[in-house]
Amino acid sequence: MTNTGDTTTRPTAAADAPPGAGALAPLLTALLDGSVQVVDLTSPLSEETPLIQLPPERGQPWPFEREVISHYDEAGPTVYWNNIRLSEHTGTHFDAPIHWLTGKDLDDVSQVPAQRLVGPASVLDFSAEAAADPDFLLRRHHVEAWQERHGPLAAGGWLLYRTGWEARQDSQENFLNGKHTPGISPECAKWLAEETGIIGIGVETVGTDAGQAGEFDDQPYPCHWYFHGAGKYGVTQLRNLHRLPPQGAVLIAAPLPIVGGSGSPARVLALVSG
């Protein structure tokens, strides 16, 4: 172990993986020497976190709130902790199949196999298109053109859809943008969900569907409808997708295993070769 002078102790580049690591030894060594980096794709969760707004006649999700139990005071001289209140779908979160009508008989978030929470990621960057048109919709021909350049979508993995929307996360108004946010067209969502090997989609926006998706004539909320009907997943309000390569990263999605839960706030990480 070497002291770098910044009060942080780090292993040397020659650090060995722990004994007994077996097939994991190369990965552990790469994590220790920095040749594999861990990128946090999770947006910080606070009282300021943007939250979807539904029509007044619909039920509303709770924003993040906290109440101090004790803070090194008379209620608990040695401990600081809080009670929290929030929706399953607040901030960076995981959507399970049971979240939508089409997946109502499929897995809740506690039933999602752990093996499916770790997988390869294909990162499609359409931030320039979304900057020019906030209602930009990803279509099948966009994905097929991307595959011609970068290879097929990662089987058993995630399509991460970069739109640059993370830059708006400091403002509820700018983030929701009057329901003008980018998404995926119905025909593309159906194709991705039913005819490709990906297991989920990750986005930077408040939900996996476009802001105007409720008004689509051919299929409202197509990502929810088709992905969850196919037993697939969504993760939302991601950040730092610009730090990932088009192919080669590994996504780790870690929702709480809420029994009967339609989803959960999640910590989403990526492993990236340095």
Return the HEC string of 93-127.
EEECHHHCHHHCCCCCHHHCCHHHHEEEEEEEECH
Handedness of CA 14, 17, 19, 25 (dihedral sign): negative
Looking at residue 227, what DSSP letter applies?
I
| Secondary structure of residue 161 in the 3-state scheme | strand
Alpha carbon separation from 103 to 93, 148, 185, 205 (Å, rounded): 17, 32, 20, 22
Q: Which of 71, 89, 93, 99 is catalytic?
A: 99
Pair 240, 202: CB distance under 8 Å: no
Beta strands in 5-117 (DSSP E): 9-10, 36-40, 65-73, 76-85, 93-95
Catalytic site includes residue 99? yes
> To which residue do tokens 């004994």 refer?
19
> How far apart, in whole angstroms, are the C-alpha atoms of residue 247 and residue 265?
26
Q: Is 15 helix (H, G, I), strand (E, B) or coil?
A: coil
Please say whether the beta carbons of 97 and 103 come within 8 A: yes
Separation CA 98–CA 47 (nearest Å): 27
One-letter amino acid of 248? G
Q: What is the DSSP string of 247-266?
A: EEEEEEEEE---TT-SEEEE
Catalytic (active-site) positions: 99
